[in-house]
Amino acid sequence: MTAPASGPQTPSHTTMAQPGKYLIVTLGRESYGIPVLKVREIIRLCPITPVANMPPHVRGVINLRGKIIPLVDLRLRFGLSTEDDNDRNCIVVAQLTGSSGGSRLYGTIVNGVEEVAHFTAEDIEPTPDFGGAIDAQFITGMAKSGPLVRTLIDLDRIASADMATAAVASSPAEASAPAS
């Protein structure tokens, strides 16, 4: 029989963040880390085409050199304010793994990009138990960076949840329902 693990436990629905390089982005007044190997490019805000019946955080789609890419505002996705929009706002285009094993592009609006940081295994700790006060399903861990703590997020899980939400929101049953 093995002894139970001690210390904070990572929720079973979340993968633990891996050591490596992370793109540190600003959402509201907080810093979040995205695995740099997922990042394809960072671009300025460009014209966004809204798509009907999407949740508020799904801003629409963009045309990136002929490819149509879904665009999500991570600030709205995490319930943060968008009042601090400024000229540093940008789009992080990520290359994510699709459910069928292929890859897909996914755009996220962020307030800005701070740096690329390297976190070792000793820097990363499991997501603490927030006691249900916060939905931690998209958080893969917390990384110590000097006196700061960076929240590491799982864009694959966020994108999968967004695509499932979008599919339900735009389903024919929803579209044919009478307007109130």
What count of other Cβ atoms lies within 10 Å of the Cβ of residue 116? 12
Shortest CA distance to 59 belongs to which of 98, 23, 91, 29?
Answer: 91
Average pLDDT over residues 129-136: 65
pLDDT at 86: 80
* Share of residues in the chain with pLDDT > 70 (%): 78
Among 17-26, 45-54, 74-83, 163-172, the least confident range: 163-172
**Phi-psi region for residue 65, left (φ > 0), alpha (ψ -120 to 50) or beta?**
left
Q: 95-127: per-residue pLDDT in tens?
A: 988 767 788 999 999 999 999 999 999 999 998
Q: 146-167: per-residue pLDDT in tens?
A: 999 999 999 998 888 876 665 6
pTM above 0.85, yes or no: no
Average pLDDT over residues 80-105: 85
Give the CATH class of 20-167: mainly beta
pLDDT at 1: 42
Q: 2-22: per-residue pLDDT in tens?
A: 343 433 444 444 578 899 999
Average pLDDT, the chain: 83
SS3 state of residue 163: helix
Compute the distance between CA of residue 5 and CA of residue 61 in angstroms, rounded to an integer: 44
Compute the distance between CA of residue 113 and CA of residue 23 in angstroms, rounded to an integer: 7
